[in-house]
Amino acid sequence: MKPEDFIGPKVYYDDHGQMIFSDRGEEKGVQLLLDVRGWGAIQHLPIKDPDKFQDDMGKWIADAINEKLEREL
């Protein structure tokens, strides 16, 4: 089995829980894959909205996974 077989065709970022889930379709369902972490460092960055930055990081990671899945499936 390859990682993409387990993950399924796409992932999405949940900004309410800072988690990335796979959407494996109706038959296999949704699977938690990753928690977006790093708040200990992010909250101290010299930026105006660290909450938004953490969400932007989660979306960026999910987009990267989806791009790889598109190339390999």
Task: Report the alpha-carbon distance of residue 65 to residue 51 in Å, rounded.
Answer: 22
Q: Is the pTM of this model over 0.85?
A: yes
Tokens coding 1: 């089995």
**Interior CA angle at 46 toward 44 and 51, to 5°?**
65
pLDDT tens-digit map of 10-50: 999 998 889 999 988 788 888 999 999 888 999 999 999 99
Sheet holding 19-23, edge to edge: 10-14, 19-23, 30-35
Task: Specify the residue for token string 């101290």.
Answer: 44
Tokens coding 34: 């990753």
Number of structural domains (the chain) is: 1
Task: Report the alpha-carbon distance of residue 8 to residue 60 in Å, rounded.
Answer: 18
Range of the domain at 53: 3-72
